[in-house]
Amino acid sequence: MADWHPISGGITAPKGYKAAGIAAGLKPSGALDLALIYSEMEAIAAGVFTTSQVRAACVDYCRQRLESKLSARAILCNSGQANAATGRQGTEDALESAQLLAQNLGIAPESVLLASTGVIGQRIPMDALRNAMPTLAGSISEAGGEEAAHAILTTDLVPKTIALETTIGGRSVRIGGMAKGSGMIHPNMATMLAFVTCDAAVSPHLWQDMVARSADKSFNQVTVDGDTSTNDTLLAFANGQSRTPAIKENSPEASKLEEMLTATCQHLAKAIARDGEGATCLLEIQVQGAADDAAARQIARTIAGSSLVKSAVFGRDPNWGRIAAAAGRAGIAFDANYLQIQLGEFLLMDNGQPLEFDREAASEYMQQAARGEYLQNDTVCIQVRVGNGPGEGMAWGCDLSYDYVKINAEYTT
C-alpha cells in the first residue's frame, strides 16, 4: 500500500511555491495562455527534455542553464506558440522572456527556466508578452495553481494536476505536479510539458537522477500517436522547505521520495494519454516475464503505440493477433511458446495457444471503458506475459479514433 495520500493544491501544494496563469493575448481565443511557477527561495532544479534534433528555443535555453546552474526559482510557460524552428530570433525571444520575468520578480535571469507550447514555426508575440509580464508577476499566489494549469493547455480538453503528501523524518513532505499534452505524444519524450514541485531537501545530482528515473517509468512510457515534439520538457523543483534532514542517496527516505515522485509522474502521464486527441478510453499495457524491466517496458511501449491495436480498441474488436504481432516486433527476444495475452478478465492466449473466449463480452468490456466521465472506469487493460523472467513494465496510450485525424488535419487552418 502506498505510503502517501492525495491532497488538494496541485503545483502549489508543497511549501514555498506560488503560481499564476493569465490571458496575455498570445492566443486569438483570449483564453489563459501565460503561466508562472515560482519558488520563494532558490530550489534545486532538474530537467528531462525532448531527444529531437529539432528543438524549441526554450529547450536549448533550459538545457544550457541546468548544465551550469542546478537551481532556479521560476518557470515561465507560454501557450499558443512553440517558438521552435524560429531561428536566431526565436532564441533572442527566449532570452528576453527570461530577462523580463526576472526584472519583474526581482530575481536573477539565471534563476528563470522556460517552456513553450503551440504551433511549431511560430514565435512568441513579444509585444503582448512584454505588456503582460507585470500583471503575471503580480498575480502569483498560493491559490494560483489552477489558473497556471489551464494557461499551459493547447488542444487538451482538461487540465492535469496532482498533489501527494507523505512523512519523512517526522515531517510532512509534499509533491505537486501539472502537465499538458494531448497530441504528438510518444516516448523520448512526448509533446508534453510537465512541471513538478517538491519541498524536500535533496542534493542536485540525486534529484536529477530521481527525476530521470521517474520519467523513464512514466512520460517515456506514454504514447498517443507515435509522434514526438520539439518542445517536450519536464522540469522539477525541490526547495527544502519541508525542513526535513537532507535526503541521502540509497536511503529509505530517498526510496520513499522517489516512489512518490514516480507516482506523481505516472498520474500525469496517464492523464495525458487519457486526454489524447480524439480518444475515447485509456489503454494500459502490463507486461511481465521479460528478462528485465527495460525489456518489458519496450514491449509495452510497442503494443501501446501500435496503430492496429489502437484501432481495434476503438472498434471494440478483441483482435488479440494484433497484440501478439506488436509484442513480437518490439525488438525483444522471447519464446512465443510462453506468450500469454489477457484483455481485462478475458484470457485470449496462453502458452502460445489461442483460447476460446466470449468475443461479445470482451467487446462489451471495451465498450464500457469508452469515456463517460473523466477518470471513471475508462481504462482498457491488456496484460501480456512473455516468459518467466523477473522483468515487468507498463505503458499507457489511447484508442485511435476518426476524430484524431479530423483534429490534426485542421490544426493550423
In this structure, the number of other CB atoms found within 10 A of the CB of residue 81 comes to 24
CATH code of the domain occupying 282-409:
3.10.20.340
**pLDDT-wise least confident of 113-117, 182-186, 216-220:** 182-186
pLDDT at 212: 94
What tens digit of pLDDT does each residue of 187-234 get? 455 457 999 999 999 999 999 999 999 999 998 888 755 556 688 899
pLDDT at 50: 86
CA distances from 66 to 58, 69, 151, 205 (A): 12, 5, 24, 11
pLDDT for residue 336 is more than 90:
yes
Residue 275 CB partners (closer than 8 Å, separation 6+): 156, 157, 158, 160, 181, 182
β-bridge mates for residue 17, sequence order: 39
What tens digit of pLDDT does each residue of 12-61 get? 999 999 999 999 999 999 999 999 999 999 999 999 998 888 889 999 99
Per-residue confidence at 98, pLDDT binned at 50, 70, 90? very high
What tens digit of pLDDT does each residue of 348-382 get? 999 999 999 999 999 999 998 875 544 457 799 99
| pTM of the model as a whole | 0.87
CB 42 within 8 A of CB 111: yes
pLDDT for residue 184 is more than 50:
no
pLDDT at 372: 53
pLDDT for residue 1 is more than 70:
no
Residue with cell 494549469: 149
Which H/E stretch holds residue 303? Answer: helix 293-305
Cell digits of residue 5: 495520500
pLDDT at 137: 98
Q: Classify residue 392 as exposed, middle or buried by CB count within 10 Å of its CB (0-12, 13-18, 19+).
A: middle
What tens digit of pLDDT does each residue of 72-95 get? 999 999 999 999 999 999 999 999
Which H/E stretch holds residue 283? Answer: strand 282-289
Per-residue confidence at 116, pLDDT binned at 50, 70, 90? very high
pLDDT at 190: 47
pLDDT at 113: 98
pLDDT for residue 156 is more than 90:
no
| Angle subtended at Cα 210 by Cα 225 and Cα 217, rounded to the nearest 5 degrees | 30
Closest alpha carbon to 367 in 404, 319, 322, 315: 315
Whole-number average pLDDT of the chain: 91
Angle between helices 307-314 and 320-328 (to 10 degrees): 160
In this structure, the number of other CB atoms found within 10 A of the CB of residue 376 comes to 8
- CATH of 5-274 given 3.60.70.12, 3.40.980.10, 3.40.50.2300, 3.40.50.40: 3.60.70.12
Candidate list 154, 191, 228, 244, residue with the active-site label: 191
pLDDT at 53: 83
In the chain, CATH 3.10.20.340 sits at 282-409
Q: Which amino acid is at 209?
A: D
191 is catalytic: yes
